[in-house]
Structure 1
Amino acid sequence: MKFKKSKLLLACSGLIFSFVAFAQSQFVGAYGQISTGYEDNRVSSAQLIGTNYGGAPNTTNSVNITSSSAPLVLGLGYLFPVQNNFTLGFGVDYSALTQETSPTTFYYPSIKNSPTFNYKFTISNRFNIFITPGYAIGQDKLAYTKLGYSSQSVQYSQTNCCSSPSNKAQVSGYVLGLGYKQFITSGLYGFVEANELT
C-alpha cells in the first residue's frame, strides 16, 4: 500500500504575535524572532493504492484532512532601506513543532464490504525562505507583504492496525502573507502576520 499524492496542499494562516530584537532602529538591520499563534494544516485529495495477493491495484476513496494547532516558529532575517519609507527584507524561518491530523478512514469503493484503514498525517520540518517588501509608517510601524518558498515533510501512519509510519514525502509550495510590525521599546517589537502556503 502506498500514498498517492494527487493533490497535497498545506496551509497555515492566522495571527502570530512575538517580541523580537533588531540590531538597529527604524526597521533596518538584522533581526531574530520567536513566534506562535494559530496554524491550520490541510491535506487534500489523499488516496491509498493497494494490491491484494498479487491482484490488480485498487484505489481508495479520496479524503481531505485538517488539523489546527499552535506552532513555534524560529526566524532570522535582515531588512534593507530602499527609498524614502520603503524597505526590503530577506528572511528564513523554521517551524519547530510537529503537527498531526486526526485519524481518517480509507476504504476501497470497488470492493464489496471493503475493510477500513485509519491513517493520520504528520507534518514536520517546515522551512520557509522569503522576501518582505515593506513600507514604514512613521518611525515605529511597518506594513509589509511576504513572498517566498516553503518545504515540509508529510508522513502517514496507520492507527487501527499494525503498520509502521511510512511513505514520507517532501512537499513544497509558495508562501503569501501580509504583516504589521510595531516597536514596543528600543530593540523590541510585536507583530501580527497572516500567511497562506499553496
Structure 2
Amino acid sequence: MLPFVLFCLLCLASFATAPAALADYYKYTDSRGGISITNNLDSVPAKYRSTMKVVRESPQKDAGAGNQLQQPQPEPEAAAPEQTGAAAPAEAPTGKFAELSARFPWFKPLVYVGIFLATFVVMIKVTALLPSPLLAKVIYLAFFLGVFVFLYKAYVAHVVESTAKIKEKAAIMMKNSTVRELPQPEGDAAAPAAK
C-alpha cells in the first residue's frame, strides 16, 4: 500500500511542477478587414506576412489574463461602453485551494479523486469490521451511487457553463460582425483616417 501511495504522490508532484506550454500567435488583417489569428506560421498567406504581428503568449499571472487574447478589440467609441461591462475581470480567487484551482484546471478534479479514493479506503476498512456482509454491500452501493450522482451533477454544471460561454461568445461575434459590415457615414469615415 505504501509504494502505491508514494507512486501517486510522485505523479502528483510531477504534474504540479510541469511548466506550461506557451505558443506564438500570428495576427493579420485580410483584404476585407477581418482580423485573423493563427498559431501556425505556414497558414498565414504570403501577402499578409509583412503586416502580421507576432503575439507571444506569456504565463498567466491571474485568472482573467487568459481572456485578453480572446476578447475582441474595441471597435469605435460607440462600442467601448458596452465592452467595458462585459470585459470586467472576474473576482480574484481567495484562498490557496482557489488559487491552485484557477492556476491548474486539473487540480480540483484530482483533489476530488483523492478524496473519493481516501473515503473508499476508509469505507473498506469499516465494512470489514461489520458482522453482516449484506450491510457492507448496502454501504458499498450507497457510496457508489453517491459518487455517480456527484459526477453527474458536476458534468451537468460544466455543460451548462460551457453552453452559456458559447452563447455569449456567439452574441459578441454577431454584434462585432454587424458593426464591421455597416457602412460608415461620410463624417465618420474621415475620423479613422486622421488617426
Bigger fraction of residues in helix = 2
Q: Which structure has more RCO (C-alpha within 8 Å, separation ≥ 6)?
A: 1
Structure-2-length-normalised TM-score: 0.19
Greater Cα radius of gyration, structure 1 or 2 = 2
Structure-1-length-normalised TM-score: 0.19
